[in-house]
Chain A
């Protein structure tokens, strides 16, 4: 596997211009001769589909839900960053770039991150032009809020529903192209396989979830915008259908998978409360603007929050990190919450929670102001927990939220398979080992609106692509492989459920294994044990899983089984990646690598690289390659938020 990041020459600030100037173009009249497949309709997929169609390409877009508007980007709450400097508080492209690189603990590529910061302002312009109802000041200009990991106010928001409003903007643009006939939309389809012909991505095999039919779709390029793999842990804040299948299938065809062990555990989620629980709910990090995090000073203090006097509360983030206080980056906040709970100071019935208290902010600003900012979040919290954050502090605990790892891409967002691109959370490119809040929306839309069209033109312009039809034998073979796999999934179910396990039971086992051994804190012994236990869970799945129903009707158990089967394979490269990275960095603490004060200890001498995993076939251990990270413009420093 050859890793050429294709970083353009020139000064950091000139690279994107240089790249666009050097890139091949496709004449507007010729674009209609090319078909692009886009899988996924979140911010990245919807914006890419609309933009490519506007430019004249034929676009075929696929989504797993009943409508492209449901994609999980819709659940993002807090906001979107952009270096507009509307607040005149010292923000700039360079500062957003630096904050993002530093927030990612110096494990992202400079050139990609700088470009992200460069186009961030255009995103806000685009969304406003679409009619996205961002929050406004009384004078009519756009409002901003602050977010973790930054000391400027650069986050644009639409109440606590920013992701929804941005996604509906992109969905509107996509809908307009569907109406014009430039985009053909395929709802309720799941990508089951990538079709590679002569070394290039030329199409996909999709399963129609309504009738089980396997469909072949040919194209000149394939764009994956299929999100992250957080659901490998079973419990996460991801939507139930979020999965790794499309990315993992691409990996099995030769696409490198970068930094799979980089998983973000978000600090402010509603704590787990029972075995039946199906997912975790995030409370936007923006709450930390006004909420104060604390635990009782006394271990095992069972008194209700209100009965604990001020002097017996430990506002541990404010104490430990006086300059950032409650607004430290997500990884720092999560790790500290875990540390408090591991030390016996956790609150709530399980002891796995800390308080997030709004009392002081309410006293300062009044209930009305706080409700205007966070009303929908408070309401959501109350619905789930039956407790009102106006009257008692919220209880929060970290939960799996976002995956910085993803398909390896070069500067053009192309994977190691020519013609296969990956956008948004599906790729690894911009967030290093930790993503800052309000940066996922920025990256998804930057990739989709402003970057992919240049890359597609560059690819098509520079390649002499032969026409390929869906009747090519490669498509027949792919459909046959997919059908065989579905048959294998169902073969144990003929004799009924006795002595069998359900898909969810296996998924929960896998999730527990990863949460315990490959979560916020990891060590060599635990990871090795997990690697050893994994094959047994995998075998149990393939030998004993019971799936009711058949493959020709709507069958949600079968859909889940296919995704869990891929998670079971994928988990191996996650664990191996975590084992190989013997340093603490970004979101994870490698227990063997700590400073004297028990802070994460990065190891730039040995791990300043992207780990890229190459699939070697069933039963063969995957091979790791390295893309060294070069920092010409920033000096990696040990992060300090003190």
Chain B
């Protein structure tokens, strides 16, 4: 453990209707065992004691699974460490004297609410349009009557690990949500339970994705590079395959 001094440049924006700007805050004596969000807590306590408004940022579980936190740090969503959410990024990744530019996840489909908080409800609407198996509670067969090879379950789990944080969208040059959407489509198209609705699902989710204002994938692979759960762009290939097959067969 050691202690570092930093210069923070943080995006401050009152709400979606006002203009934002970067504001500079020197911050010293940061313990390197702190998480990034704890570093922001320290800043916010200092701002509060100085009678200034703290920086608004979304966060909840602080263990990398709820998907609520996220910001772009020096141009990289969730910061420099691979496969890490912002809450799991620790200050030992930085050196004394560093300047950190901290901005919200930017996308046309993610309006900024305040400072680093954005509105990712478009993701919810993509799932609502078909990211599930339409099964009511009750009347389901015994779980072991649906055998699933271990490798298939593992592949589905790789895709299902998505936490819906939106880093993929924020890093994509096209503001595409295809990694997010592809992950859910992959999980369900790999599993037998997802087969009956396979085609409608692909068509509906892609349509919602487009309507929400997300762009399209051009294989820049930035999403995969920043994904805190290491979701592979193979899932985008599966999305394209599913969408194409569904369009030909249903469209």
Which chain A residues have a beta carbon within 8 Å of chain B's beta carbons? 47, 50-51, 54, 65-72, 74-75, 84, 86, 122, 124-131, 133-142, 158-159, 161, 163-165, 168, 171-173, 175-176, 178-179, 185, 187, 210, 237, 239-241, 273-274, 276-279, 281-282, 379-380, 383-384, 386, 449-450, 453, 496-497, 502, 504, 546, 548-549, 553-554, 556-557
Contact = CB atoms under 8 A, between A and B. Distances in A.
A502 B149 contact: no
Give the interface centre of B52, B53, B54, B160 by most chain A CB atoms within 10 Å. Answer: B160
A231 to B, nearest CB: 11
Among all A-B residue pairs, the 8 with the closest Cβ atoms: A140-B147, A172-B132, A129-B140, A128-B143, A133-B156, A133-B157, A179-B128, A136-B153
A38 to B, nearest CB: 14
Given A65-B60, A69-B164, A70-B68, A136 B150 contact: yes
B51 interface: yes
B150 A239 contact: no
A536 B217 CA distance: 59
B141 A125 contact: yes
A497 B61 contact: no
A124 B136 CA distance: 14
B65 A161 contact: yes
B12 to A, nearest CB: 13
Interface in B45-77: 45, 47-54, 56, 58-68
Given A66-B68, A67-B121, A380-B63, A549 B128 contact: no
Contact of B161 (A142, A161, A279): A161
A168 B113 CA distance: 25
Contacts of A65: 60, 66, 68
Contacts of B194: 131
A122 B138 contact: yes
B152 to A, nearest CB: 8
Contacts of B154: 133
B42 A74 contact: no
Contact of B54 (A131, A133, A548): A548
B116 to A, nearest CB: 11
Contacts of A68: 124
Nearest to B153: A136
Contacts of A553: 14-15, 114
A107 B150 CA distance: 40
Nearest to B40: A278
B193 A131 contact: yes
A84 B145 CA distance: 13
B222 interface: no
Interface string B179-203: 0000000011001011000000000
Given A125-B143, A138-B150, A176-B132, A158 B157 contact: yes
B169 to A, nearest CB: 14
B108 to A, nearest CB: 18
Contacts of A164: 65, 161, 163
B5 interface: no
A558 B224 CA distance: 37
A139 B155 CA distance: 16
Contacts of A86: 144
A75 B65 contact: yes
Contacts of A69: 67, 124, 127, 164
Contact of A141 (B89, B92, B144): B144
Contacts, number: 229
Nearest to B164: A69
Given A139-B147, A383-B88, A130 B113 contact: no
Contacts of A557: 48, 54
A187 B61 contact: no
A61 B189 CA distance: 29
Contacts of B144: 84, 86, 141-142
Contacts of A178: 124, 128
Interface of B: 1, 14-15, 31, 33-35, 37-38, 41-42, 45, 47-54, 56, 58-68, 81, 83-84, 88-90, 92, 113-114, 117, 119-121, 123-124, 127-129, 131-138, 140-144, 146-150, 152-154, 156-157, 160-161, 163-164, 187-188, 191, 193-194
Given A69-B164, A124-B143, 4 more contacts: A281-B62, A449-B137, A504-B41, A546-B48
Given A54-B137, A70-B60, A141-B144, A175 B52 contact: no
B interface SS class = loop
A163 B140 CA distance: 21
A496 B154 CA distance: 55
A328 B212 CA distance: 51
Nearest to A349: B1
Contacts of B117: 554
Contacts of B161: 159, 161, 164
A12 B140 CA distance: 25
Nearest to A242: B60
B125 to A, nearest CB: 9
Nearest to A160: B65
B160 A133 contact: yes
A502 B60 contact: no
Nearest to A177: B128
17 contacts: A125-B140, A125-B142, A125-B143, A126-B138, A126-B140, A130-B132, A133-B157, A134-B143, A135-B153, A136-B150, A140-B148, A165-B157, A172-B132, A279-B62, A383-B88, A546-B48, A554-B114
Contacts of B136: 51, 54
A379 B83 CA distance: 10
Contacts of A548: 47-48, 51-54
B160 A165 contact: yes
A556 B56 contact: yes
B14 to A, nearest CB: 8
A136 B56 contact: no
B212 to A, nearest CB: 14
B186 to A, nearest CB: 11
B135 A549 contact: no
A128 to B, nearest CB: 4
A164 B66 CA distance: 8
B147 A131 contact: no
B214 to A, nearest CB: 16
A171 B127 contact: yes
Contacts of A72: 60-61, 66
A172 B51 contact: no
Contact of A380 (B88, B114, B120): B88
A277 B38 contact: yes
B48 A131 contact: no
A445 to B, nearest CB: 10
